[in-house]
Amino acid sequence: MRSSIRGSGTEAAATDTADREPVEVDVLPEGGEVLATGNPWLVVARTFAQNRLAIIGVGVVALVILFSFIGPLLHQTDQLNPNLVAVNLAPGGRHLLGTDSAGFDILGRLMKGGQSSIEVGLAVGLIATLFGLIYGAVSGFIGGPVDGVLMRLVDVGYAIPVVFLFIFMAQIFKPSLTLLIVVLVLVSWLIPARLVRGETLTLRTREYVQAVQVMGGRSWRIILRHIIPNTIGTIMVTVTFQIANAILTLAVLQYLGFGLPPSTPTWGSMLSDGTTYLQDGYWWQVYPALAMIVITVVAFNFIGDALQDAFDVRLQER
What is the per-residue pLDDT across 243-292, written as a single tens digit (0 to 9) for each?
999 998 888 888 877 777 777 888 988 888 888 888 888 888 899 999 99
- Dmax over CA atoms of the chain, in Å, equals 82
CA 238 to chain centre: 7
pLDDT at 26 over 80: no
Output b/e per residue, 165-192; b: 16+ Cβ within 10 A: bbeeebeeeebebebbbbbbbbbbbbbb
Residues 153-173 have a mean pLDDT of 83
177-232 per-position pLDDT tens digit: 888 888 889 888 999 999 999 888 888 777 777 787 777 777 787 887 778 887 88
Dihedral angle over CA of 69, 74, 79, 83, nearest 10: -160
- Mean of per-residue pLDDT scores for the chain: 80
- Give φ, ψ of 33 to 5 degrees: -85, 130
Which helix H or strand E contains 3, and what residues bound it? strand 2-6
Task: Indicate the range of 25-34, 104-113, 133-142, 228-237 predicted with least confidence.
Answer: 25-34
The per-residue pLDDT for 313 is: 55
Sorted by where each starts, the structural domains of the chain and their CATH numbers stand as 2-37 (no CATH), 56-305 (1.10.3720.10)
The per-residue pLDDT for 296 is: 94
pLDDT at 294 over 90: yes
pTM of the model: 0.77
